[in-house]
């Protein structure tokens, strides 16, 4: 019996936003991901190589949706590609190939695999596994598969998966706002053997037909909507995800990452606090943790902590420069901007102790209006009575103070524990 790949780690998530830009016209053109408006949406990196040698090209996948169907674009950066198959339905996987496998319905084990080589030759099949698939004898109408011209560097394929075609195959309407499951692949069995995937695969040999290893594809009703992992009382992701709006409307438990920037001046600890933008959906205009943010679905706490520190303050830390201090809970209900805000979070706390000059920081104006140094113990004493100034979470600062007491001899550059 195959072991579900979700047992290996957290399920990958990709948010499929509504299409804002059309798919690029690729036929006869050299592809540049930096020049295409469609590529402004977040991509899914095809960067897991469970098998093969040292050849690991950078590859990406984008998916957007509209009322007509899924708009799909995949690309890879390779010095040379193989394209010997020219007929539809041929063994394109032996060439350089970009592939998209997905299950449109969570309660139906069948998945669609679409595999395309650099000349646009494709193989499309539907079934529950490798042995029981039904291959298409012709390309579905309106799929419009295109491949770019390759002269070294990036090559790409693009096509549309019509919802009407899926509904005919599966005999039921597609829920435009439901989660699908799937995976993206880059492979070649000839000139540069490699087998890359977006969602990791646990198998002893190359095998992309592993639906138990598919990640989650969430069709979002709005571009830019954030999604979080729902977590249990111990902070473990349950496998469900929730939008930011729903999480704070209903008080659904999720995770955040907090980073405290500290320094020692004349024997006393100081902490850098950010003043929140007046436009924030909670505690506008108040001083808060140095850097903090929600952990997006599928991300790890450290990954989010590093990103928030860079985005909000312009501090580009390395993983070794963040010391893990522990966790604390945030739970409250409060009205902001005339709406009830319910927070139910498990927060992971990190400490950054490298030298910081406020004048060198680049603040994210949408989030932070200014930053200032505060004496740690004076701030701690003021928290109970100065909530008009501070929205610093008291349990979070307690974790910081405990960490600094327990590691009073901590030297810069020494790693304590990283998760």
Domain final residue, candidates 219, 248, 275: 219
Q: Are residues 205 and 246 in the same domain?
A: no
Dihedral (CA of 330, 333, 334, 337) sign: positive
Partners of 194 in the β-ladder = 52, 188
| Statement: residue 413 has pLDDT above 80 | no
Q: Are residues 148 and 166 in the same domain?
A: yes
CATH code of 280's domain: 3.90.79.10
pLDDT at 10: 66
Q: Is residue 215 part of a domain?
A: yes
Domain final residue, candidates 195, 219, 243: 219
Q: Are residues 58 and 86 in the same domain?
A: yes
Distances (CA, A) of 241 to 148, 181, 216, 252: 35, 13, 10, 10
Task: Supply the range of the domain harboring residue 187.
Answer: 9-219
Q: Is residue 415 part of a domain?
A: no
pTM to 2 decimals?
A: 0.67
Q: Is residue 419 part of a domain?
A: no
What burial letters (b/e) apply to 188-206, b meaning 16+ CB within 10 Å? bbeebebbbbbbbbbbeeb
pLDDT at 49: 94
- Rg, Å, the chain Cα set: 24
| Statement: residue 60 has pLDDT above 60 | yes
Domain final residue, candidates 219, 238, 270: 219
Summarize pLDDT for 221-247 with one digit per residue, the tens: 777 778 888 988 888 888 788 888 888
Summarize pLDDT for 348-379 with one digit per residue, the tens: 999 999 999 999 999 888 888 899 999 999 99
Q: Are residues 237 and 213 in the same domain?
A: no
Taking the C-alpha atoms of residue 274 and residue 297, their distance in angstroms, rounded to an integer, is: 25
């Amino acid at each position: 019996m195959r072991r579900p790949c979700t047992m290996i780690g957290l399920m990958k998530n990709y948010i499929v936003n509504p299409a804002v830009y059309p798919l690029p016209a690729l036929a006869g053109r050299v592809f540049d991901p930096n020049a295409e408006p469609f590529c402004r949406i977040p991509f899914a990196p095809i960067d897991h190589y469970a098998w093969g040698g040292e050849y690991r090209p950078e590859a990406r996948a984008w998916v957007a949706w509209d009322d007509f169907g899924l708009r799909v674009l995949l690309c890879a950066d390779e010095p040379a590609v193989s394209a010997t198959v020219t007929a539809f339905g041929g063994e394109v996987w032996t060439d350089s190939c970009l592939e998209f496998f997905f299950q449109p319905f969570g309660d139906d084990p069948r998945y669609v695999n679409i595999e395309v080589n650099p000349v646009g030759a494709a193989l499309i099949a539907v079934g529950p596994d490798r042995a029981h698939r039904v291959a298409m004898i012709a390309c579905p109408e309106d799929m419009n598969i295109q491949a770019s011209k390759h002269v070294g560097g990036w090559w790409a394929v693009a096509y549309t998966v019509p919802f009407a075609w899926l509904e005919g195959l599966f005999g039921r309407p597609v829920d435009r706002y439901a989660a699908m499951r799937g995976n993206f692949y880059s492979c070649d069995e000839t000139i540069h053997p490699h087998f890359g995937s977006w969602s990791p695969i646990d198998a002893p040999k190359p095998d992309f037909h592993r639906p138990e290893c598919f990640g989650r594809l969430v069709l979002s009703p709005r571009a830019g909507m954030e999604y979080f992992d729902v977590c249990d009382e111990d902070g473990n992701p349950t496998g469900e995800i929730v939008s930011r709006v729903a999480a704070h409307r209903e008080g659904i438990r999720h995770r955040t990452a907090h980073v405290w920037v500290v320094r020692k001046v004349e024997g006393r600890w100081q902490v850098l606090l950010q003043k929140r933008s007046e436009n924030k959906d909670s505690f506008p205009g108040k001083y808060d943790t140095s850097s903090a943010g929600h952990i997006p679905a599928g991300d790890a706490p450290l990954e989010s902590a590093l990103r928030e520190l860079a985005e909000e303050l312009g501090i580009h830390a390395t993983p070794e420069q963040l010391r893990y201090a522990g966790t604390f809970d945030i739970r409250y209900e409060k009205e902001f901007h005339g709406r009830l805000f319910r927070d139910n979070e498990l927060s992971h706390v990190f400490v950054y102790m490298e030298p910081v000059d406020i004048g060198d920081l680049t603040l994210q104006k949408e989030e932070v209006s200014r930053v200032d140094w505060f004496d740690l113990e004076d701030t701690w004493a003021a928290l109970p009575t100065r909530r008009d100034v501070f929205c610093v979470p008291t349990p979070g600062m307690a974790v910081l103070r405990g960490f600094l007491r327990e590691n009073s001899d901590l030297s810069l550059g020494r790693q304590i524990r990283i998760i």
